[in-house]
Structure 1
Amino acid sequence: MIQIGCIADDFTGASDWASFFAEKGISTILFNGIPEADIKTEDADVAVIALKTRTEPKEEAVKESVEALAWLREQGTKQYYIKYCSTFDCKKDGNIGPVIDAAMDYLGETATVVCPALPVNGRTVRNGCLYVNGVELQNSSMKDHPLTPMWDCRIKELMRQQSSGEVVVMPKEICEKPDVQEWMGEYQRKKKHIYFVPDFYEQEQGKRIVEIFEKFKLLTGGSGVSTFLAEKLEHQEMELIKGQETPAIIIAGSCSVATLGQIAEYLETGKKAYKMSPRKILEGTESVDTIWKVIGKWKEDDILLYSSEDASTVTENQKNENISMLIEQIQAQIAQQFVREGRTRVIVAGGETSGAVTKKLGYDRYYVGGSIAPGVPVLIPVQEPEMRLVLKSGNFGKKDFFIRALEYTRG
């Protein structure tokens, strides 16, 4: 029986959430998309389903999320979690509110928690407002996110636009009240959707949040409370097969400040790298074949293949709507060719890029191993347990992340 079943709005978010359970030694399996009816959970205590609902049309996002909930319920899941971005979604017609509402209706619940914070990565909530490294969301670097720009830090206002119920902000002093459950009960008796938003700006506050909400059938948020949820589970550790030592490929499609710094740090090592040119791709002079003619010769070397640019260059490139998709397709095909050559270590930076790569490789479920950085685990495909994949959100990891990933996945 699955103790906690999670539905995540993208693949890197799913692996992020799952990593905190794996770090505690809990058997955790990650599915790329809704599993077929006869797929088993490999006796895992925690199951995570990665969807692509972060950027899908609202109706599709709701439909897929409910279908994923139905699959989890068929497996006898005891508790459910809706995982979304730790910096939320500022669009008035965003998907987070509608998906939460649909999940509450499907499960017959009238109240849940909205807890997007991940303090260990600088994503915090104070008095109902989101911060990135101490800066209000709309003033942070996330305001220029190419897919989901972040221009409002007020969760209450964001949920008001996206959802049907009432947001209740829970400052630290409320969370610490001995009679907090009675305080919450006054709102729950209203018999409509209630979303509790607790303060979470210090790591240890997560323990109190779990104590308050652990009996709720449905929880929602980022991955900040995952480690505290994991501490509550009784489990048996899953033994993973040792990987093989082959040269690795790093594929960077994210244009976040963090990934740009990681690329710069990697390049300083003098290791092999190839920078893709959006202009040449559009002209047709750069392709999978031309890139492979260069990097295919580096058979004994770790390789970085990247397309990442600073914000101003990205804006210019986005004038052509096809360029991002073309780059992702090429990067995914290169990763596939790389694996066909017998190499077993693939590291990807960027949520959309990770989705394209995993789809091309064709793996549909993974064991979740140890983490290289908070929220970034090593993934082991059930179908090919000698493989090691690292799929990170663009904003995660320190400057030496790529170097650490190479070391961590070796052997």
Structure 2
Amino acid sequence: MLLGGIADDLTGAVELAGMLAAGGMRVALVLDDAPVPPGQDAVVVAMPSRVAPVEEARAGFARAAEALLGAGAERLFFKYCATFDSTPEGNIGPCADLLMDRTGAGFTIFAPTFPEAERRVFMGHLFVGAQLVSNSPKRFDPLTPMTEPDLVKVLTPQTQRRVGLIPLHVIARGAEEVGRHVAALRADGVACAIADAGTEEDLATLARASWDWKLTTGGSNLAAHFPAIWREKGLLSAAAPEPAPRAAGHGAVLAGSCSDRTREQVEHFAARHPALRIDLARMDSPEAALRQAVAWALPLLEGGPICVTTAGDPEAVSAAQARFGRDGAARAAEGLLGALASALVDAGVRRVLVAGGESSGAVIRALGITRLSVAPYVSPGIGVCAAEAPVPLALCLKSGKLGPVDMFGTVLERMRA
């Protein structure tokens, strides 16, 4: 196994697996503590750790690392969001520390740049489009607000190791210069470095500098450059790509992300198809809200795809958090969407699009799915995959912040057999 990947949410795991598959690798995606399957070039473990308590996140990463290394993974890759989603306590730094300890890695980089989605790092500062992340809508994230754009400052309190920077002018000189810069950082006691990058060429340089490291961390499109390098080194032969999954049956959207982009996508879909918004702050109880949502949805399924969302604007999110607490509001939404997914699948839904990383994980766990086949990556936010159990399903698990505005309807139609 050339690579063992660990992603801190399910949509990130799907994206990473899809990019490796697009590079011609045989890839399996498993959830949490599911067994690591043999005979793969790469295995990606989806670990719902982004907003978990630090020790819970570290324990999950320890189990995943042990399983991957025990199955023969030659190196590990830690995938997190391109907006470096974390809290002051973690969990990027604590989980990276654990992986460095487990692999014996003396140095690693942190490279969240995702040019296709306009996430870039310059002089250690994270930009979303032309804005610093601290000026973007990401500052209003209900769980992981990003109010500090300097990623060196974000990472430093999260890790036991000294944090440095690999600036863009070093990367522009090529992989060998990156290697020399890393050697100088290590000689100065630095073990972790934020890596600048603005383009795919910058990421390709970073990948060429780190292709044989025991541990690398970053966005999925850093890892996407590894297969070509491994093939060049004679370590990898091309695999036939998986066909895009399709399924005969009803279609449904379950949207839990409160990002601006997901709310725009819900609004676009709702102008053309039935859509129901559940106001967490005003519902009588999760059980009552589930009964009402099922009663609303079932008569409509024969007429085409439907959408149920728990997403709201910042004021609605604040009201829900005031009622349930920050984590309690998120768990209420995830539990509701997971239970609703089970009811809809029982009613014949076979094409499901879930918006939001934590929401996707909750839905997949509620359905009892432990392994996914991932289609090769196509574009940001569109992570299409298939599950065979408990029933054959075609799924799209999308990051809340990504994807075109019209993707709900078009992706559900694309997945229809």
Give deviations 1:114-144, integer Å, cap 9, x for gaps.
1111111121111111111121111111011
1:320 corresponds to which residue?
323
Shift in Å, 1:25: 3.8
Seen in structure 2, the aligned counterparts of structure 1 residues 325 and 186 have a Cα distance that, compared at 3 Å, is closer
Worse-matched range after superposition: 370-379 or 147-156: 370-379
1:368 corresponds to which residue?
374
Write the letter of the residue equivalent to 2:353: I
Q: What is the percent sequence identity of the aligned residues?
A: 27
- Looking at structure 1, the residues matched to 168 and 260 of structure 2 have their Cα atoms a distance apart, in angstroms, of 31
Shift in Å, 1:101: 1.4
- Looking at structure 2, the residues matched to 207 and 5 of structure 1 have their Cα atoms a distance apart, in angstroms, of 19
Seen in structure 2, the aligned counterparts of structure 1 residues 47 and 397 have a Cα distance that, compared at 3 Å, is same
Aligned match for 1:194, one of 191, 195, 201? 191
Write the letter of the residue equivalent to 1:9: D
Write the letter of the residue equivalent to 2:103: L
SS at match of 2:43: strand
Shift in Å, 1:90: 5.2
- Looking at structure 1, the residues matched to 257 and 245 of structure 2 have their Cα atoms a distance apart, in angstroms, of 29
Seen in structure 2, the aligned counterparts of structure 1 residues 183 and 279 have a Cα distance that, compared at 3 Å, is closer
2:279 corresponds to which residue?
277
Q: After the TM superposition, which residues 2-401 of structure 1 pair with which residues of structure 2 at under 5 Å, given as runs?
A: 2-36=1-35, 39-41=36-38, 43-89=39-85, 91-177=87-173, 179-180=176-177, 181-190=179-188, 192=189, 194-233=191-230, 234=236, 235-240=238-243, 243-269=246-272, 271-282=273-284, 286-300=288-302, 301-321=304-324, 322-371=328-377, 373-383=379-389, 386-401=392-407
Give deviations 1:141-169, integer Å, cap 9, x for gaps.
10111111111111111222111222221
SS at match of 2:283: helix
Shift in Å, 1:45: 1.4
- Looking at structure 2, the residues matched to 260 and 76 of structure 1 have their Cα atoms a distance apart, in angstroms, of 42
Shift in Å, 1:369: 0.8
Shift in Å, 1:96: 1.1
1:20–1:230 CA contact under 8 A, matched in 2: no
Give deviations 1:257-305, integer Å, cap 9, x for gaps.
0001101111222x12222232442367942222222211123121111
Unaligned stretches of 5+ residues in structure 2: 231-235
2:207–2:223 CA contact under 8 A, matched in 1: no
Shift in Å, 1:309: 1.2
Seen in structure 2, the aligned counterparts of structure 1 residues 381 and 247 have a Cα distance that, compared at 3 Å, is same
Query: Greater share of helix residues, 1 or 2?
Result: 2
SS at match of 2:323: coil
Seen in structure 2, the aligned counterparts of structure 1 residues 216 and 372 have a Cα distance that, compared at 3 Å, is closer
SS at match of 1:117: coil
- Looking at structure 1, the residues matched to 247 and 88 of structure 2 have their Cα atoms a distance apart, in angstroms, of 47
Write the letter of the residue equivalent to 1:367: S
1:97–1:159 CA contact under 8 A, matched in 2: yes
Seen in structure 2, the aligned counterparts of structure 1 residues 72 and 312 have a Cα distance that, compared at 3 Å, is same
- Looking at structure 2, the residues matched to 127 and 201 of structure 1 have their Cα atoms a distance apart, in angstroms, of 11
2:245–2:375 CA contact under 8 A, matched in 1: no
Worse-matched range after superposition: 249-258 or 175-184: 175-184
Seen in structure 2, the aligned counterparts of structure 1 residues 168 and 248 have a Cα distance that, compared at 3 Å, is same
Seen in structure 2, the aligned counterparts of structure 1 residues 247 and 26 have a Cα distance that, compared at 3 Å, is same
SS at match of 2:52: coil
SS at match of 1:331: helix
- Looking at structure 2, the residues matched to 71 and 285 of structure 1 have their Cα atoms a distance apart, in angstroms, of 37
- Looking at structure 1, the residues matched to 391 and 219 of structure 2 have their Cα atoms a distance apart, in angstroms, of 28
Corresponding pairs, count: 405
Shift in Å, 1:320: 0.9
- Looking at structure 2, the residues matched to 220 and 340 of structure 1 have their Cα atoms a distance apart, in angstroms, of 39
- 1:407 maps onto 2:413 in alignment: yes
- Looking at structure 2, the residues matched to 279 and 167 of structure 1 have their Cα atoms a distance apart, in angstroms, of 41
- Looking at structure 1, the residues matched to 126 and 377 of structure 2 have their Cα atoms a distance apart, in angstroms, of 25
Seen in structure 2, the aligned counterparts of structure 1 residues 242 and 162 have a Cα distance that, compared at 3 Å, is closer
Shift in Å, 1:335: 0.9
1:80–1:219 CA contact under 8 A, matched in 2: yes
Cα RMSD after superposing both structures: 2.1
Write the letter of the residue equivalent to 1:348: V
Shift in Å, 1:250: 0.3
Seen in structure 2, the aligned counterparts of structure 1 residues 229 and 375 have a Cα distance that, compared at 3 Å, is farther
- Looking at structure 2, the residues matched to 13 and 331 of structure 1 have their Cα atoms a distance apart, in angstroms, of 19
- Looking at structure 1, the residues matched to 190 and 99 of structure 2 have their Cα atoms a distance apart, in angstroms, of 11
Seen in structure 2, the aligned counterparts of structure 1 residues 25 and 387 have a Cα distance that, compared at 3 Å, is farther
Under a length normalisation based on structure 2, what TM-score does the superposition of the two structures give?
Answer: 0.91
2:233 corresponds to which residue?
none
Shift in Å, 1:240: 4.7
- Looking at structure 1, the residues matched to 149 and 31 of structure 2 have their Cα atoms a distance apart, in angstroms, of 30
Write the letter of the residue equivalent to 2:200: Q
1:372–1:405 CA contact under 8 A, matched in 2: no
- Looking at structure 2, the residues matched to 373 and 385 of structure 1 have their Cα atoms a distance apart, in angstroms, of 27
